[in-house]
Structure 1
């Protein structure tokens, strides 16, 4: 454990907070390891009725850490763990979400954000594809909208994220939005929650079982490509990559 995920408990709800604001909560190998361990504890804790996943700083998650990336298989494992966890997982977002961070949202059962949050599939702009994150997102989002935003890298606001299925709800105060959700989870029987979640997530887990190996291999191949090296270098140097037209 490296202390990148904080845990707190209140009346049946365990809150896990991504706490690497200096790195915009990017999915480094260390953060993925810490979050995986924290979720494992939540999944076996009888006092945890549900999990809230949130963040410090102005960014929920900036996607994969380009300086310390986890292997694609680790991201597959993390997203699948959230989907399969026998506790509902609720994303609470008050900042920006990019690339792999959208995989976290897609894996959660419920996702709410403040209206100041923004979202973008930035993979194509650095020369890769949203391969692994498509596993939880394809079964849960509008296909036409997903095609547009994955192919262009355009930014979405919270209202559009709700319309496309990236979010469940959004509002000026995300805690006000989530209050009835958490109250409902506290009133639900633990066995009923686990079995209901299992029914709802069955199609998502089918996608993982069918496609995860192929998509992890695709992700690894693209990240090792010359175009990805140019895209990531350009991103870190704050310039346009060589393929930008005009």
Structure 2
């Protein structure tokens, strides 16, 4: 009997639980299996008194490409993403994301849900949903809780790609990757109680938005995924061609 290769690797580094998304074959897409493993790893970190904070990183050229569009039942992804974002927001320990590659669609929601994020110069970002007949319904909850709304409107409406410097400027990302060591040192120097209570302050707006908007936005996402226009947009993406509405 063979054991499935983990999609999320777990390591420890002086009080930091390092969780590595390790599904490069599909660009660390948010499959049900990957989300289940990440959820379990976060639960484990929350229970471990030796863990002061979590560092979420990745292998391969992408931090996260969003929904796994090649999988059966991918339309259930928005509900699973809501649950993951809520888990991160309510986790009593800070979650830091490190992106050294591409971040797309729902991956931006995962990144924005994290309490602190850093990005390398090789990172690129795009809300690709609009070009597929979709919208970043669930991902918009943490994104609009963190980032500048005026800037986010451009990227959400156009689907353009932008770089790490722009992500930092607009508040989607906290700092360049060079700040990571100082961030982790600060977390290691902080008390567990202080971190938990301070995090409740910094996540208050995100938790309010999840409570108020998640049901309607999950329903919107399901409706869009079931539409003929989105089906054609996804087909065009998988077939590496322009959809019929591209001018």
Same fold (TM over 0.5): yes
> What is aligned with 1:58?
61
> What is aligned with 2:113?
107
Report if aligned partners of 2:96, 2:114 keep a CA contact under 8 Å in 1. Answer: yes
* Backbone CA RMSD of aligned residues: 1.0
Given the two structures, how large is their TM-score scaled by the length of structure 1? 0.96
Asked if 1:39 corresponds to 2:45, the answer is: no
2:96 is paired with a residue of what secondary structure? strand
Report if aligned partners of 1:118, 1:155 keep a CA contact under 8 Å in 2. Answer: yes
5+ residue gaps in structure 2?
Answer: none
Residue 10 of structure 1, aligned match among 2, 8, 13 = 13
Distance in 1 between residues matched to 2:150 and 2:165, nearest whole Å: 16
Distance in 2 between residues matched to 1:103 and 1:217, nearest whole Å: 17
5+ residue gaps in structure 1?
Answer: none
Deviation at 1:209, TM superposition (A): 0.4
> What is aligned with 1:229?
231
Instruction: Give the direction of change, closer, same or farther, for the CA distance of 1:195–1:179 in structure 2 (3 Å limit).
Output: same
2:203 is paired with a residue of what secondary structure? helix
> What is aligned with 1:178?
180
Equivalent residues, number: 241
Report if aligned partners of 2:31, 2:77 keep a CA contact under 8 Å in 1. Answer: no
Distance in 1 between residues matched to 2:29 and 2:41, nearest whole Å: 17
Runs of 4+ in structure 1 deviating by more than 6 angstroms, as ranges, are: none
> What is aligned with 1:201?
203
Deviation at 1:177, TM superposition (A): 2.1
